[in-house]
Amino acid sequence: MPVSVLGKPNDRPEGRAKVTGRAAYTADRTAPRLAHACGIMSPIAAGEIVSIDTSAADAAPGVLAVYHPDRRPPLFRVPEGVSVGERRPPLEDRRIHYAGQFVAAVVAETFEQARWATHLVKIRYRAAAPVVSLDAGEAAHGAKPKGDDTSRGDPEPAFTDAAVQVDATYSTPVEVHCNMEMHAALARWEGDRLLIDDSTQYVSGHAEALAYFLGIGQEKISVRSHFVGGGFGSKLFVWPHAVLAAAAARELGRPVKIVLDRRSQFTSAGHRPHTRQRVRLGADRDGRLVSVRHDSLSHTSLVQDYVESCAQVTPSLYACAHVATTHRIVPVNVGTPTPMRGPGEVPGLFAVESALDELAIALSLDPLELRLRNIPDRDEAKDLPWSINTMAECLRLAADRFGWAGRNPDVGSMRDGDIVLGWGLAAASWSASRDEAKVRAELRADGTLRLTSGTQDPGTGTYAVISQVGAEISGLPPAQIEVAIGENSMPVGPISGGSMATASLVPAVAEATRKAIKQLIKVATKTEGPWKDQDPDTLRVQGDQLLAADGRALGAWRDVLRQAQLALVAGDAHTEPGDEREKFSFRSWGAHCAEIRWDPGLAKVTVSRVVSVLDTGRIINHKTASNQVYGSLVMGLGMALLEHSVYDPRSGAVVTDNLADYLVPVHTDVPEMDVTLLDRPDPHIGEFGARGIGEIGLTGIAAAIANAVHHATGKRIRDLPITIERLLA
């Protein structure tokens, strides 16, 4: 057998195109007679438009149209149940629900003309008092249940009777995805067909919502997104700017491009909502959990219900007979929240893994030992055995690599000169979903393999993963494999969300490649040459060669196609999860240890070391997989110490609407990161046993850092981010 290429740290097939600027992202695209749109966003967060005067803008050079609620292109609402940023079409009426809402859009010959003319549109508003905080929202509108409350056993008396209790409330602020590539769309019509370039995490699902907005058949919409410069959830669904571009292009009969500016990302294309979570843990003297309650409150917008499912994983994470969870949402005057990397679990595990640290201290028990004593044998929430649960292994290995055994648990006891060291630990976990996927494999007369699927690569490594599985099955080198993704005309591929693209694609790529090889062999046995009349079951393809049963090379397989006068043979696969989903519970597992350095003289916290061990099943490409984890850890450092959107309570405007005020980690903030991937194939998820890796690295890391901060400073910061003000309070 040839050596396996699975796991090898191959370069990204599209890497060269990206670093040489040849990769066309949506904003790079152009079209003949292209017009440019610029939005006007509401500066107020509540109230209504009183008047709109477009006369100066209409007369400005190059202006083709000014759209607003009194002069809007025909658009419709999207029905309930369809995933979309906002069900209302843009410019629906004069009411204002949040700052950053589209109130008008100018289309002009050039971007500069469109942008200039936005300043000439005179809009008068009648502002109402906005409600932007969770407290104010709860007082004004109340909190309503969203999603199912869960309960098992009798958590309340079990808590009351518990030997040791923790009852604490944690909060996480609004965070914004901050993709490097801005949201953008370029729409053009050919007759009644819409061709749209849109930076999206879901080319195969995008047309559905657009069809509802535009009132046309879904099959009339072609979506393309060959390269996506980061999504993190903000590009899962259609947002108003893409709808406006499509509608304006239809009205004007010419292509229209719109690129959101950085500021608009903070208001108009989703965010992780503000959460407040009460966690109550009860344990016996030995540190076994006897009661777990997790009540989560998060905000949504006034135009759409979105719930951040912070407590969703809680009933599965640790063994406990008495567990209850609730989710409530509060509408406020902000744009609609949307999933952001690790939605639910990321804020949820900040709370739960912080509370466990508090419990460990109350028990005088090592936080590692506390977790190890509560690892569940099975998924107690779903009442199913685990496909695999390696949390204990991840915790032990992370602790070993970090040197956890050398930790002195006393607060402030570990020093490096004037600097106080803090060591913290937390578990990580993320669901391991898998969706159906279609892939087409073609072996071509030029000796190459082409793999096609209507999925996309938001920087996660999907091109590399598809190429690598094709290489594994065919034996071809990466240079001989072309991966074509990013169009909805291709066989329907998975969403790049929920960390499920890899798990979904791997079995489909393998099957499609095998089917194409089988086709080729069938052709060979009927084609003149040394392969003619051979038993097809004995022939194999290895690299560019067709091999006989004894391993002897019969010749290059491309000569079979040439001889048969075929340009290509193809194999089509459509794979989907089977009944294993009813037999097992699938999750990924991990653990983080973090070291922080606390300088009491400067009131400064820096993260100096992170050790992470993750089990996401079989690793297909170590380079792109660990890249996902490094990115997650940097994001987690930002979540712990820096990131938060600040709203002005008077106007409801986002104050931190730029990357100078909304802080994300830069190189100097990033510590040494020691990442280990267990690389253990999941026994049940599908061929090769790969689970997703995009999100798990961000779960738990903020808690590990907060726990380390407590260890150094004695301050339990329950509200992120951990700012100097909070440390000095």
Tracing tokens 């017009």 back to the chain, one arrives at 35
Q: Is 201 in the site for ligand MOS (CB under 6 A)?
A: yes
CB 212 within 8 A of CB 79: yes
- Considering only 63, 117, 340, 611, the residue that binds ligand MOS (CB under 6 A) is 340
For residue 337, the minimal CB distance to ligand MOS (Å) is 11
341 binding ligand MOS? (CB under 6 A): yes
Using CB under 6 A as the binding rule, whether residue 617 contacts ligand MOS is answered as no
Task: Kindly tell me which of 339 and 376 has the beta carbon lying closer to ligand MOS.
Answer: 339
Tokens representing residue 426 in the block:
């937390």
Q: Report if residue 498 touches ligand MOS, rule: CB under 6 A.
A: yes
Which amino acid, one-letter code, is at 432?
A: A
Task: State the Cα–Cα distance between residues 267 and 98, nearest whole angstrom.
Answer: 8
Phi first, then psi: give them for residue 135, nearest 5 degrees: -60, -50
Q: In this structure, are residues 224 and 197 in contact, taking their beta carbons and an 8 Å threshold?
A: yes
In the numeric block, the tokens 């759409």 are attached to 304
* Shortest distance, position 544 Cβ to ligand MOS, whole Å: 38
508-537 residues in contact with ligand MOS (CB under 6 A) are none
Nearer to ligand MOS, 329 or 539 (CB): 329
* Distance in angstroms (rounded) separating the CA atoms of residues 397 and 591: 9
- Residue 343 CB, shortest distance to ligand MOS, in Å, is 5
Q: Smallest distance from the beta carbon of 329 to ligand MOS, in angstroms?
A: 18
User: Within 13 A of 547's CA, how many CA atoms are on the CB side?
Assistant: 13
Which 229-288 residues touch ligand MOS, going by CB under 6 A?
A: 231-233, 236
Token representation of residue 274: 């503000």
Q: Indicate the residue among 232 and 266 with the shorter CB distance to ligand MOS.
A: 232
CB 261 within 8 A of CB 268: no
Give the CA distances from residue 31 to residues 28, 203, 242, 512, in Å, rounded to whole numbers and listed in that order.
10, 20, 16, 35
What span, in angstroms and rounded, lies between the C-alpha atoms of 136 and 156? 29
Answer whether 613's CB lies under 8 Å from 659's CB.
Answer: no
Q: What is the three-class DSSP state of 34?
A: coil
Q: Residue 46 CB, nearest distance to ligand MOS (Å)?
A: 28
Take residue 386 and report the two structure tokens written for it. Answer: 């685990």
Q: Find the shortest distance in angstroms from Cβ 440 to ligand MOS.
A: 25
Least Å distance, CB 86 to ligand MOS, is 17
Q: Side-chain half-sphere of 498: how many Cα atoms within 13 Å?
A: 13
Stretch that binds ligand MOS, among 228-236, 279-287, 583-591, 605-613 (CB under 6 A): 228-236
Return the number of the residue (85 or 231) whose C-beta is nearest ligand MOS.
231
- Closest CB to ligand MOS among 254 and 587? 587
Nearer to ligand MOS, 166 or 639 (CB): 639
Choices 338-346, 421-429, 599-607, 661-669; region in contact with ligand MOS by CB under 6 A:
338-346
Please state the closest distance from residue 231 (CB atom) to ligand MOS, in A: 5
The contact pattern for ligand MOS, residues 109-128, with x = CB under 6 A and - = no contact, is --------------------
Greatest CA span in the chain, whole angstroms? 84
Size of the site for ligand MOS (CB under 6 A): 11
Smaller CB distance to ligand MOS: residue 177 or 254? 177
Phi and psi, residue 626, nearest 5°: -70, -30
Choices 52-60, 333-341, 447-455, 637-645 (CB under 6 A): range interacting with ligand MOS: 333-341
Q: Is 268 helix (H, G, I), strand (E, B) or coil?
A: helix
Annotated catalytic residue, options 181, 472, 511, 695: 695
Reduced to 3 states, what is the DSSP secondary structure of residue 59? coil
Q: SS3 for 380-429, per residue? A: CCCCEEECCCCHHHHHHHHHHHHCHHHCCCCCCCEEECCEEEEEEEEEEE
Nearer residue to ligand MOS within complex by CB, 179 or 474: 179
Q: Which stretch binds ligand MOS (CB under 6 A): 121-129, 225-233, 424-432, 556-564?
A: 225-233
> Where do the DSSP E strands lie in 176-303?
184-190, 193-198, 221-224, 256-259, 275-283, 289-300
Q: How far apart are CA 364 and CA 17, in angstroms?
A: 55
Strands (E), 114-163: 122-127, 144-145, 150-152
The span of 131-139, 334-342, 591-599, 697-705 binding ligand MOS (CB under 6 A) equals 334-342
Q: Is 580 one of the annotated active-site residues of the chain?
A: no
Of 278-286, 318-326, 337-345, 640-648, the segment contacting ligand MOS by CB under 6 A is 337-345
Q: How far is the CB of 208 from ligand MOS (least distance, A)?
A: 17
Q: What backbone torsions phi and psi does residue 639 show, to the nearest 5 degrees? A: -60, -45
Q: What angle in degrees, to the nearest 10, is found between the helix axes of 345-363 and 701-713?
A: 30
497 binds ligand MOS per the rule CB under 6 A: yes
Question: Quick one: which segment of 60-68, 339-347, 571-579, 587-595 binds ligand MOS (CB under 6 A)?
Answer: 339-347
Query: Which H or E run includes 681?
Result: none
How far, in Å, CA of 499 to CA of 339, rounded? 12
Least distance (Å) between residue 639 CB and ligand MOS: 14
> If binding is defined by CB under 6 A, does position 339 make contact with ligand MOS?
yes
Which stretch in 146-154, 227-235, 407-415, 546-554 sits in contact with ligand MOS by CB under 6 A?
Answer: 227-235
Q: Which is nearer to ligand MOS, 497 or 652 (CB)?
A: 497
Question: Quick check: 494 binds ligand MOS (CB under 6 A)?
Answer: no
Compare residues 38 and 236 and give the one whose CB is closer to ligand MOS: 236
The residue assigned the tokens 């097992």 is 584
Of 608, 645, 638, nearest in space to 702 by CA: 638
Query: 23: burial class by Cβ within 10 Å (0-12, 13-18, 19+)?
Result: middle
203 Rama sector, left if φ>0, alpha if ψ -120 to 50, beta otherwise? alpha
Pairing status of strand 568-575 against strand 437-444: antiparallel
Q: Which residue is nearest to ligand MOS (CB)?
A: 233
Instruction: Please identify, using beta-carbon distances, which residue of 200 and 676 lies nearer to ligand MOS.
Output: 200
In the complex, the smallest distance separating the C-beta of residue 147 from ligand MOS, rounded to whole angstroms, is 17
Interface with ligand MOS (CB under 6 A) = 201, 231-233, 236, 339-341, 343, 497-498
- Residue numbers annotated as active site: 695
